[in-house]
Amino acid sequence: MTGLEMPVALFLLANLLVALLVAAHGPTAADRMLVALLFGTTGVGILVLLARAGGRGALVDVALVIALLAAITGIAFARRAWHDKEHPDA
């Protein structure tokens, strides 16, 4: 442990706050989805850093679940957007 884990985690948390402002003003659903994916990946980074700083391995498991859910959410959004373009009247 180098002692940089907590400052980096706080920096990532600040990035999430900025992303929250962008999400509130996102003009399209795709913009808001990108911010949601940013929340997922940044949240994973924060949890891994906290797990390393605090010695709690369970946080890594939570981070893996969040990463999996973020990936599934992104795929579901892309499939729905693709389906809506192919079938605009459905």
pLDDT tens digits along 21-60 = 877 777 787 777 888 888 889 999 999 999 998 888 899 9
Measure Cα distances from 87 to 64, 74, 75, 83 in Å.
Answer: 35, 20, 18, 6
Query: Domain coordinates of the chain in residue numbers?
Result: 5-86
How many whole angstroms separate alpha carbon 62 and alpha carbon 60? 5
Measure Cα distances from 61 to 47, 64, 81, 88 in Å.
Answer: 9, 5, 30, 40
- From 87, 10, 17, 83, select the one nearest 45 (Cα to Cα): 10
pLDDT tens digits along 43-53 = 999 999 999 98
pTM of this prediction?
0.76
